[in-house]
Amino acid sequence: MNIPSRVRLIDVGPRDGLQNEKQPVPAATKIELVHRLQAAGLREIEVTSYVSPKWVPQMADAAEVLAGLKRADDVRYPVLVPNLQGLERAIATGVTDIAIFTAASDAFNRKNINASVDESLERLKPVAEQARAAGLKVRGYVSTVLGCPYQGAVPLAEVVRVSEALFHMGCYEISLGDTIGVGTPHAARDMLRAVRSAVPIEQLAVHFHDTYGQALANVYACIEEGVRVADASVGGLGGCPYAKGATGNVATEDLVYMLHGLGLETGVDLDALCDTARWISAELGREPVSHVAKARQPQVA
Ligand code: HMG
Ligand code: MG
């Protein structure tokens, strides 16, 4: 078994989680969520997206969220950017890390970003180029790596091709997204083995949604294969507005519990994280969906 001693976590809850809320979430709540996550030890927090507010009104307050952040020197705050207009807005608010995104399936891309895979890659090239020229770090996402909500099966060769294209654009890391949470561990492992023939394993991250309850098992399978970076969402928040029925990411607290149980370090204080999961879930008027936040009682001072 190839198990590293430390796993880097990116909490995508403020973006992937809150982009999918039906009710408006005040910017102040989003800002407090980020502050609570950093206090709990998260060192990479995807805070918002600079996408079209006509497409995703939930993220229309991106600039307000950025302006309200008390940024810590040792925390990174990536934001999602779909095009040059988004990059311009991100740079104007002092962003230093962006994530560009596309998918391995044309059908999903057309619904999500109004472009085919190839058109999206063309659109993203100048975004990556100009972002890097401005000194920004650029991460890349590939969605639908284990299945597409519209076309079904996605050929592994397409996942490899798109990952490689983003890597060659200068993305320091490619996050492989099971957008609709349909993958199972051996499928996840086979996908990873295929992609790592084109992109070094050190530069791959995994991003599992938990629709079918497979996300933790899938992360575990990928950790066994040598992946050291995983995306997760506090409280298991989230989903994609253009992937109907898809639920949130693997809950960060469930993942942290598993990793600590495996003897792997994350730098995260699990009790503080569970408090945060309960707090944001209460703000949204529901119970946390994660097992660990429900199982662990609040700490009495
Ligand atoms: P489009 O309609 O083809 O683009 O959308 P457009 O250039 O024709 O623009 C339409 C309007 O939006 C224009 O306004 C633009 O100015 C405006 P109008 O002229 O009509 O007044 N606009 C913008 N405004 C602000 N910021 C911008 C921006 N761009 C255009 N950046 C576009 C194409 C890509 C913009 C659109 O489809 C879009 O924003 N899509 C984003 C959808 C999204 O955010 N989905 C969720 C994130 S992806 C995800 O969750 C998956 C992930 O988690 C990984 C996984 O789980 O697999 C990452
Ligand atoms: Mg996602």
Structure confidence at residue 242 (pLDDT): 82
Residue 2 has pLDDT above 80, yes or no: no
User: Using CA positions, which residue lies closest to atom 1 of ligand 1?
Assistant: 114
How many degrees, rounded to 5, is the angle at CA 33 between CA 47 and CA 230?
Answer: 55
Mean pLDDT of the chain: 96
Proximal ligand: closest to the CA of 104 = 1
Proximal ligand: closest to the CA of 243 = 1
Q: Which residue has the higher pLDDT, 238 or 128?
A: 128
99 domain residue, yes or no: yes
Query: How are strands ordered across the β-sheet holding 97-103?
Result: 8-11, 229-232, 204-208, 173-178, 137-143, 97-103, 79-80, 48-49
User: Using CA positions, which residue lies closest to atom 23 of ligand 1?
Assistant: 52
User: Using CA positions, which residue lies closest to atom 15 of ligand 1?
Assistant: 52
Residue 299 has pLDDT above 70, yes or no: no
Residue 298 has pLDDT above 80, yes or no: no
List, in sequence order, every residue forming a beta bridge with 298; answer none if it has no partner: none
Neighbours of 261 (CB within 10 A): 8
Integer CA distances (angstroms), 235 to 11, 14, 78, 107, 123, in order: 10, 11, 19, 30, 33
> pLDDT tens, 190-202?
999 999 999 999 9
Average pLDDT over residues 214-224: 98
2 domain residue, yes or no: no
- If one residue of 47, 49, 51, 171 were mutated to test the ligand 1 pocket, choosing by the most ligand atoms within 8 A of its CB, it would be 51
16 CA to middle of ligand 2, Å? 5
Residues enclosing ligand 1, CB less than 6 A? 16, 19, 49-56, 80, 82-83, 85-86, 89, 101, 112-114, 141, 143, 177, 179, 207, 209, 240-242
| Confidence band, pLDDT 50/70/90 cuts, at residue 124 | very high
- Closest residue by Cα to residue 109 from 91, 127, 90, 122: 122
Sign of CA dihedral 175, 169, 75, 23: negative
Which among 148, 222, 240, 274 is annotated as catalytic? 240
Residue 300 has pLDDT above 80, yes or no: no
3 domain residue, yes or no: no
Structure confidence at residue 249 (pLDDT): 96
143 CA to middle of ligand 2, Å? 8
Q: How many CA atoms lie within 13 A of 223 on its CB side?
A: 24
Range of the domain at 119: 8-295
Residue % of the chain over a pLDDT of 70: 98
204 domain residue, yes or no: yes
Q: Are 165 and 200 in contact (CB under 8 A)?
A: no
What is the Cα–Cα distance from 168 to 171, expressed in whole angstroms? 7
Average pLDDT over residues 249-278: 97
Proximal ligand: closest to the CA of 103 = 1
> pLDDT tens, 61-112?
999 999 999 999 999 999 999 999 999 999 999 999 999 999 999 999 999 9
Residue 1 has pLDDT above 60, yes or no: no
| Confidence band, pLDDT 50/70/90 cuts, at residue 3 | low
> pLDDT tens, 265-290?
999 999 999 999 999 999 999 888 99
Comparing 3-17, 53-67, 94-108, 135-149, which segment has the lowest mean pLDDT? 3-17
Structure confidence at residue 301 (pLDDT): 61
> pLDDT tens, 165-183?
999 999 999 999 999 999 9
- Closest residue by Cα to residue 273 from 37, 48, 62, 80: 37
Q: What is the CATH number of the domain that holds 181?
A: 3.20.20.70
94 CA to middle of ligand 2, Å? 24
106 domain residue, yes or no: yes
- If one residue of 52, 123, 144, 179 were mutated to test the ligand 1 pocket, choosing by the most ligand atoms within 8 A of its CB, it would be 52
| Confidence band, pLDDT 50/70/90 cuts, at residue 32 | very high
> pLDDT tens, 233-249?
999 998 777 888 788 99
Q: Are 256 and 240 in contact (CB under 8 A)?
A: no
Q: How many CA atoms lie within 13 A of 195 on its CB side?
A: 35
19 domain residue, yes or no: yes
98 CA to middle of ligand 1, Å? 15
- Closest residue by Cα to residue 51 from 102, 125, 96, 4: 102
65 domain residue, yes or no: yes
Counting atoms of ligand 1 from 1, which one is nearest the CA of 82? 34
pTM: 0.97
Structure confidence at residue 244 (pLDDT): 81
112 domain residue, yes or no: yes
What is the Cα–Cα distance from 183 to 155, expressed in whole angstroms? 14
Domain count, the chain: 1
Q: Are 227 and 204 in contact (CB under 8 A)?
A: yes
Q: Are 37 and 12 in contact (CB under 8 A)?
A: no
- 240 an active-site residue? yes
87 CA to middle of ligand 1, Å? 12
Residue 215 has pLDDT above 80, yes or no: yes
User: Using CA positions, which residue lies closest to atom 47 of ligand 1?
Assistant: 240
Q: Which residues contact 133 (CB under 8 A, 6 or more apart)?
A: none
Counting atoms of ligand 1 from 1, which one is nearest the CA of 249? 56
239: left (phi over 0), alpha (psi -120 to 50) or beta: left
Counting atoms of ligand 1 from 1, which one is nearest the CA of 246? 56
